[in-house]
Amino acid sequence: MTSTRTSPDTLAHAPTRAEICVVACAEAWRGDGEVLAATAGTVPALGARLARLTFSPDLLLTDGEALLLATPEDPESVEGWLPYRKHLSLAARGKRHMMMGASQLDRYGNQNISCIGDWARPERQLLGSRGAPSNTVNHPVSYWVPRHSTRVFVERVDVVSGVGHDRAVEAGPAATRFHGLRRVVTDLAVFDFAAPRHRMRLASVHPGVTVEQVRERTGFPLETTGEVPLTREPTPAELRLIREVLDPHGARDREVRA
């Protein structure tokens, strides 16, 4: 059981950029109900566990491989085994919301994790597309980018691994039926896909970041609607959970340095 006693020092310091990113990632699963929260990266994993402990109590959590976690407080506690065939069954039925990484993203949410440069003679070989194509046409997907830069946010991705809105429309109903890109969280800002034709829109900037800074580090025209709000900060209860329960050793600060 999670202790509700808070050390006097826990809330003495303002939220860090990493802690704001944890909450921004957690918000991706708000309202999802009973789905499997799959993550790539420390900050999204903390976000999923925070969401389960607060506003999304029905989320299912995994260790990132084949085990279901019994409790968000302890990633070593195991509730059960999730065989690969059952994991894929959940994904195929839309009962998973994954937050993936991206080496490149364009304004429609096309993602590249395969290679940089020409497919025939790439400059860099990356992970390969893995499950990205099927993820993006079968269940909700969000993205986490720990270092926002023009190298990631590009006019056109070199290879389409995860399917963006424009490519899904081109492919037809088989691709659009369950296609659902939710949000993109970076170390600077949060994006959604609420601009016309489902283009990426700047939904909020993190405290201490300006819209112009985001614009300078984005390789395509930035879509905005009116005044861009600030990303919400953790509540005192959320901050205590992050600092005392979920990540007492500060792994989040090694992924987001600000």
The span from the CA of 168 to the CA of 80, in Å, is 35
193 three-class SS: strand
Do 131 and 72 contact (CB within 8 A), yes or no?
A: no
The mean pLDDT value of the chain amounts to 93
Bridge-partner residues for 68, per DSSP? 62, 80
In this predicted structure, what is the pLDDT of residue 140?
Answer: 97
208 vs 78: which has the higher pLDDT: 208
pTM for this structure?
Answer: 0.93
Condensed to tens digits (0 to 9), the pLDDT of residues 33-81 reads 999 999 999 999 999 999 999 999 999 998 877 889 888 998 888 888 8
In this predicted structure, what is the pLDDT of residue 115?
Answer: 96
In this predicted structure, what is the pLDDT of residue 87?
Answer: 84
Quick count: other Cβ atoms within 10 Å of Cβ 81?
A: 9
The span from the CA of 192 to the CA of 142, in Å, is 9
Among 73-82, 165-174, 179-188, name the one with the lowest average pLDDT. Answer: 73-82
